[in-house]
Amino acid sequence: MALILSNLAPDVIFSIFAFCDIASVISASETCRYLHNLAFDKSVWLDLLDNLRRRSILDRTVNLEMLSVVEMIGIVRRLIDGPQTWSSSEHDLDPIAEASKTITLHPPIRSDLETPAFDWVKLLPSGCYVLLGNLDTLECWNVVHDTLVWRHTSCLEHSAVVGFSAEETNTESVIVIICLRTEVLNGSIHFIEMVNVDLRTGTHTHLLVARAPDSEAIHPFYEPVICGTLAAVRFDSGCMIINWKSKSFAIVHGHDSHSKFTLIPQHLIVLDPSINGESQIHLISNDSIGAYLLPEIPKVHTFHAINTGQSFQNMEIHASPIHDTEYRLWIWGLNYAVNEGGLLSYQLSIPINGEPRWRLRSQTVLEGTQVVSYSGHVLSYEPFRGGWTIISPGSSVANPRLQLFRDPDFVELAIYSGAMTCPTVESTVVIQYYR
C-alpha cells in the first residue's frame, strides 16, 4: 500500500488523506519519508481537525488557521488525555486545576436569589452556544456575545420543561428535543417535542410532537439524546426511539426497567444488567428499528461481560477522535469486592467491513458524578476540600480542585474540551476552560 501511495503526486495524496481519520494518516506517515512529509502538511491537519468539528468532537473556539501543525497535534492529544492540569503529580498534595479561560453569561436576574435561575445547562459541542433550562423555559444563548438567541415556545399550552438535549447540525442550526409535562384534570400527560432552531434568526420549526407513555412519575424521562435523524428518550419501562424526519417512533423494551439506551451513528446501543451473572451490551442497527414495533428487534451483535466483579447500572459512549469507527464505552456500577462505585471502560470497534469487537480497557473503583469525559476524568464533590474536584483515570495522591465551582447541585462537564458550565445563584452562567 505504501509503495502504491509513494508513486502518486502530492495533490492525489492530499485528496486521499481528506477521506482518512487521524490514525490512518499517522500510520501512512510511518511508511516512508515522502508520505511522512505530506502527512504533516498543514492543509492535511486542517482537514483532519475540521472533520472532528463536523463530528462534534472538537469545538469551534479556536481559529485553526492561526495554529501550527505541532499545536494542532497538541489539541488532539488534549482531546484524548484531558487538560494537563487535571493530572497531578505524586508530590502535589493539594493540586488545583488551572483555568485558561472563564466566560460569564448574564441572563436577566430573577427575584429569587437563593437558587440558580436555571436548573440545567448544556454547552453545545461547538462551544459557541449554551442551552439553559428550567420548568418555565428553555433558552439558547450565544457564548461569545452573551446574548439570547432563542427561547422555546411550545405548541402545547400549560406545559413545563422537564428535560432536553440537542445536536448541532451545522454552524447555523441545532435540533432540540424537549421533554414536556402538561397538567390535566386527572393528572399529568407527557410529551416529546422536537424543533429545528435557526441560530441566525432565532426562530424554530416544529419537527414532531409525540405523546410519551403514561407514567405516574413527575419526571419520567431520562437521558434524552439525538444522533442524526433519530432521537431516544428512556423512561421507566423502556425507551422511545423517534425518527423526527419520518415523524415516526417506536417503543423498545429492555430486559427490565434498569436497561439503558443510547445512540451512536447508525446504531442503537442497549445495556442489559446482569442476566444469570452475565451482563450484555446489544448493538442494534438503525435500519432495523423502523420496521419493528415489538420488543424483539434483531441485534447486529451482542457483547457478553462475564466476571467483571461489577454491576452494570449506567453507561456513556464517546466517539474516538482518531479512529472514525471506534468508541469508548464507560459503564458505571457497584464494585462487589469493596462495595463502592466502580467504572469499567471498554473499547468498541465497528469496522465498515467485519464483525464489531470490544475489549476491556480499564477497571477502577471510583466515586463521583456519573458523567465521564472521553479522557476518563470524572467530577467528584468533596465537602472537606471545599467543593468540586477532578478525578483522574489513573492513580493520584490528590484530585485537582476546581476553585470556582463550590455549589454541590450542578456542574456540567463537556465530554471532549473539559469545559465546566455552572449556573450560579447570582443568575449568571459561568463557563470555564482549563490548561
d(CA 373, CA 361): 15
Please tell me the predicted confidence (pLDDT) of residue 110. 64
In this structure, of 217-221, 267-271, 278-282, the range with the lowest mean pLDDT score is 217-221
**Nearest alpha-carbon partner for 315 in 355, 271, 374, 283:** 271
What is the share, in percent, of the chain residues with pLDDT greater than 70? 86
Question: How many CB atoms neighbour CB 256 within 10 A?
Answer: 11
Question: With 70 as the cut, is the pLDDT of residue 125 above it?
Answer: yes
DSSP letters for 117-151: S-SEEEE-TTSSEEEEE-SS-EEEEETTTTEEEEE
Please tell me the predicted confidence (pLDDT) of residue 252. 74
d(CA 115, CA 105): 16
Helix (H) or strand (E) holding 259: none
d(CA 329, CA 358): 9
Domain boundaries, the chain: 2-81, 84-434
Please tell me the predicted confidence (pLDDT) of residue 341. 82
Residue range 271-284: average pLDDT?
75
Instruction: Kindly report the pTM of this predicted structure.
Output: 0.88
pLDDT band at 257 (very low <50, low <70, confident <90, very high): low
d(CA 96, CA 413): 17
pLDDT band at 391 (very low <50, low <70, confident <90, very high): confident
Question: With 50 as the cut, is the pLDDT of residue 361 above it?
Answer: yes
Fold of domain 2-81: Monooxygenase (1.20.1280)
Please tell me the predicted confidence (pLDDT) of residue 295. 41
Question: With 80 as the cut, is the pLDDT of residue 109 above it?
Answer: no
Residue range 20-45: average pLDDT?
95
Residue showing cell 483555568: 99
Strands (E), 265-311: 267-275, 278-285, 301-306
Backbone angles phi, psi at 287, to 5 degrees: -65, -30
d(CA 162, CA 42): 45
Residue range 247-266: average pLDDT?
78
Strands (E), 22-158: 99-105, 120-123, 129-133, 138-142, 147-151
| 236-244 LR contacts (CB < 8 Å, sep 24+) | 237/213, 238/213, 238/295, 239/270, 240/192, 240/210, 240/212, 240/213, 241/268, 241/289, 242/177, 242/192, 242/194, 242/208, 242/210, 243/289, 243/290, 244/175, 244/194, 244/207, 244/208
d(CA 60, CA 125): 8
Longest dimension (CA), the chain: 76
In this structure, of 137-141, 193-197, 320-324, 423-427, the range with the lowest mean pLDDT score is 423-427
Residue range 271-286: average pLDDT?
76
Backbone angles phi, psi at 381, to 5 degrees: -95, 120
pLDDT band at 434 (very low <50, low <70, confident <90, very high): very high
Question: With 70 as the cut, is the pLDDT of residue 275 above it?
Answer: no
Average pLDDT, the chain: 85
Burial of 15 (0-12, 13-18, 19+ CB in 10 A): exposed
**Pairing, β 387-391 against β 129-133:** unpaired
Q: Is 188 helix (H, G, I), strand (E, B) or coil?
A: strand
Q: Is 410 helix (H, G, I), strand (E, B) or coil?
A: coil
What's the pLDDT tens digit per position in 325-345? 999 999 888 888 888 888 889
- CATH 3.40.50.2300 holds for 84-434: no
Question: With 70 as the cut, is the pLDDT of residue 35 above it?
Answer: yes
Please tell me the predicted confidence (pLDDT) of residue 33. 93
Residue range 354-381: average pLDDT?
85
Residue 209 contacts residue 189 (beta carbons within 8 Å): no
Please tell me the predicted confidence (pLDDT) of residue 394. 67
Residue 130 contacts residue 121 (beta carbons within 8 Å): yes
The listed range with the strongest mean pLDDT (44-48, 180-184, 278-282, 397-401) is: 44-48
Question: How many CB atoms neighbour CB 274 within 10 A?
Answer: 16
d(CA 429, CA 423): 4
Question: With 80 as the cut, is the pLDDT of residue 59 above it?
Answer: yes
Residue 140 contacts residue 149 (beta carbons within 8 Å): yes
The listed range with the strongest mean pLDDT (112-116, 126-130, 295-299) is: 126-130
